[in-house]
Chains A and B, each alone.
Chain A
Amino acid sequence: MAADTATQSTSQMVLPMNVVTRSDVGRLVREAEAVDNFLRQVGVRQPGTSLQLPKTSRLYDEMVAINKLNMLQEQDRLTLHQLLQAIRTDAPVLHMSFSTDPSPLFLQKLMTWLRQNIHPLVLLQVGLLPNIGAGCVVRTNNKYFDFSLHQRFIDTRPMLISKLHGAAVVDPTGGVAVPAETAV
């Protein structure tokens, strides 16, 4: 329901693929506030007062550029701020754990797929589980999906056991005999 609300209110908003986590959104919110404060201060400043331009990140610039916003317009700034707040509080978050730290390129590809197939504003929280071997573990609000190699081995354990029982025929002398069809 919250995701629906966020979708309705931000139907026109596009998140850059580099915005991955809720922390990224929070950082964008702070930057938007800084820019808005700066521009407000500029409007009421006295002549001769020194101004210090707020530093914006590449992510913020990309966000503004993708959504074709004019930060000199107060309405656009307000819209951006509200929408970012809404995304931070209401956007769906997927928890994905990997065996190693994912690279930014990997995350970008993953976010592209997620936003095209799952939700356009979905965010990701990345975790680390070194013992899963490979693959990932996905956790949503109510469900848990284990796409790891460890779970794969568990799922295919009956097949592995049957293969082991078929392949290793214990002979009376205590050794392991190779079945006839596999022997060269």
Chain B
Amino acid sequence: MNTWGVIVILAGLAAATGAFVYLALKLNGSGPKGKKQTSGNTYIDAAEQDVEHIFNDEFREELRNRGRLHFEKIIGENAMFLQQDLRLTTSQLNEYLKSEITRKLQEEFVKYEESITDAKELAIESLTKTQQAIEQQRKMMGQQLAQEIANEKTRVVKRFEDNMADIINHYVLAAVGNQIDLNDQLEYILSELEENKKDIVEDITHGS
């Protein structure tokens, strides 16, 4: 039980006490005043004695018991009302908390989804840019590679063509070099000399 429950119980007790005092004063004030007006001080004294006679200790104890029972009844009813209010408040509070928590959670979920969506879009955009850059780089590298291959091919072909005479000569030497006799070459050598005979004679005759 919280502070409000205690306050409500104390307020009920104070109200019951006030009501009891009010009834006692009202009963005490209405009876003797009429007799005083009609019979004088004798009646007043007799009334006082009757009062003492009527409101003896047993009667007072009876009134006290009835007041206590009434007070307990009121207290019980108030406690029951308080308990009902408390249950109602608790249930409302639970509903409120549920709705608030649900609402907050939904808001957070919405924000979370928005954040995820933004992050996803950002990631997709970044991936797209990266993919485009990679694709561009791949194309560029492919072109460079193709150019390099073409250059290398040209270089190799040129080197092969430049050194073709050496290659074939080396191949011929390795293949049939030992089988070529100088005597077999004499006719070829003489024919070559015959073709250049004029230059040779010229150089021998007029050369220094």
| A interface residues with partner B (beta carbon < 8 Å) | 1, 3-4, 92, 94, 98-100, 102-103, 105-106, 109-110, 113-114, 117-119, 122, 131-136, 138, 140-143, 145, 147, 149-151, 153-154, 157, 160-161
Query: Any chain A CB within 8 A of the CB of B169?
Result: yes
Within the assembled complex, what's the spacing in Å between the Cα atoms of A102 and B182?
7
Query: Any chain A CB within 8 A of the CB of B203?
Result: yes
Mask, B191-208, CB within 8 Å of A = 1, is 011101101110111111
Mask, B133-165, CB within 8 Å of A = 1, is 000000000000000000000000000010011
Interface residue range, chain B: 20 to 34
| B interface residues with partner A (beta carbon < 8 Å) | 161, 164-166, 168-169, 172-173, 177, 180, 182-183, 185-186, 188-190, 192-194, 196-197, 199-201, 203-208
Residues of A within 8 A of B189 (CB): 110, 135-136, 147
State which of A4, A109, A135 has its C-beta within 8 Å of the C-beta of B192.
A135
Cβ A157 vs Cβ B164 within 8 A: yes
State which of A4, A117, A149, A157 has its C-beta within 8 Å of the C-beta of B197.
A117
Cβ B182 vs Cβ A103 within 8 A: yes
A145 and B196 in contact (CB under 8 A), knowing A133-B173, A153-B168? yes
A106 and B172 in contact (CB under 8 A), knowing A141-B207, A157-B161, A161-B164? no
